[in-house]
């Protein structure tokens, strides 16, 4: 699928700290994270369970705010406040998926376009993504009538629909067999080649192999390169 290239994005984080407090206990989920993801780059974020990957993505997408540090978006996004970002600016594949339960898979995929009032023009791309991800025959099903892997592929299709400037995905191949995982990774690589800044948290070693760069996360800190 080729298509128009979006305005370039990307992001830089410096010294990002995020603490969660539970009563007297404090968890330093992020302990001073430095990272940069440029437009056109596919970066894989790897690290053990609990190392802070989802927390970092939550911060980068604006769901959480940092206790310390600085987060800047690059290019045209840098002139805007993150609260104003739409799916075309920044798209997220949450670890918990988050499909709308009373919309069909097709309508979930088309949702970002509906919110922009461009559902008519984006319809063919939504159908192409559903077909590419092996979901064409399930388009009218509700999420509760689809497998976890099928739901996850719909979530990735929803994120890719508007060719976002920044794509953040939290373990997007976690529920996939190898063939479907490779199909999703093809689409992620294509998004980066089309100019998106792509960061995916992943335990999938074949995803690291396809990334332009690998970042390792451990105990809330990010270092360049694959884990040793």
- Length of the chain (residues): 228
Q: How far is the CB of 198 from Mg ion (least distance, A)?
A: 17
Q: How far is the CB of 106 from Mg ion (least distance, A)?
A: 28
Contact 204, 183 (CB under 8 A): no
By CB under 6 A, what part of segment 81-120 binds ligand ATP?
95
- Interface with ligand ATP, residue 63, by CB under 6 A: no
Contact pick of 13, 44, 53, 198 for ligand ATP (by CB under 6 A): 53
Question: Smaller CB distance to Mg ion: residue 51 or 104?
Answer: 51
Phi and psi based region of residue 40 (left: phi greater than 0; alpha: psi -120 to 50; beta: remaining) = left
Give 137: exposed, middle or buried? Use CB within 10 Å, 0-12, 13-18, 19+: exposed
Bridge partner residues of 213 (DSSP):
43
- Interface with ligand ATP, residue 50, by CB under 6 A: yes
Query: Applying CB under 5 A, which residues contact Mg ion?
Result: 53-54, 95
- Interface with ligand ATP, residue 226, by CB under 6 A: no
Gap between the Cα atoms of 157 and 110, Å rounded: 9
Q: How far is the CB of 95 from Mg ion (least distance, A)?
A: 5
| Range in contact with ligand ATP (rule: CB under 6 A) among 3-11, 52-60, 120-128, 143-151 | 52-60
By CB under 6 A, what part of segment 11-40 binds ligand ATP?
20, 22, 27, 29
20 makes contact, choosing from Mg ion, ligand ATP, none, with CB < 5 to 8 Å by partner type, with: ligand ATP
Bridge partner residues of 70 (DSSP):
14
- Alpha helices, H only, 79-172: 105-116, 119-132, 148-160
Q: How far is the CB of 181 from ligand ATP (least distance, A)?
A: 16
Contact 119, 113 (CB under 8 A): yes
By CB under 6 A, what part of segment 113-152 binds ligand ATP?
none
Q: How far is the CB of 53 from Mg ion (least distance, A)?
A: 5
Count of chain residues binding ligand ATP (CB under 6 A): 13
DSSP characters over 145-210: GS-HHHHHHHHHHHHHTT--SEEEEESTTTT--HHHHHHHHHHHHHHHHTT-EEEEE---HHHHHH
Question: Smaller CB distance to ligand ATP: residue 49 or 228?
Answer: 49
Gap between the Cα atoms of 57 and 64, Å rounded: 9
Contact 11, 61 (CB under 8 A): no
Q: How far is the CB of 23 from ligand ATP (least distance, A)?
A: 10
Which chain residues interact with ligand ATP by CB under 6 A? 20, 22, 27, 29, 47, 49-55, 95
């Amino acid at each position: 699928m080729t298509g128009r290239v979006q305005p370039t994005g990307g992001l830089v984080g410096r010294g990002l700290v995020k603490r969660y407090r539970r009563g007297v206990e404090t968890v330093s989920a992020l302990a001073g994270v430095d990272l940069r993801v440029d437009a056109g780059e596919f970066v894989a974020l790897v690290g053990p369970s609990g190392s802070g990957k989802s927390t970092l993505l939550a911060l980068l997408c604006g769901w959480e705010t940092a206790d310390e540090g600085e987060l800047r978006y690059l290019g045209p996004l840098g002139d805007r406040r993150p609260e104003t970002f739409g799916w075309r600016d920044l798209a997220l594949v949450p670890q918990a998926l988050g499909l709308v339960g009373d919309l069909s898979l097709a309508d979930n995929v088309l949702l970002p376009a509906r919110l922009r009032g461009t559902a008519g023009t984006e319809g063919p791309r939504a159908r192409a993504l559903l077909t590419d991800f092996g979901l064409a025959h399930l388009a009218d099903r509700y999420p509760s009538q689809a497998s976890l892997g099928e739901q996850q592929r719909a979530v990735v299709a929803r994120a890719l629909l508007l060719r976002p400037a920044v794509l953040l995905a939290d373990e997007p191949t976690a529920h996939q067999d190898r063939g479907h995982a490779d199909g999703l990774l093809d689409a992620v690589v294509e998004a980066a080649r089309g100019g998106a800044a792509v960061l995916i948290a992943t335990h999938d070693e074949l995803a690291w192999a396809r990334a332009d760069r690998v970042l390792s996360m451990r105990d809330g800190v990010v270092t360049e390169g694959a884990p040793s």
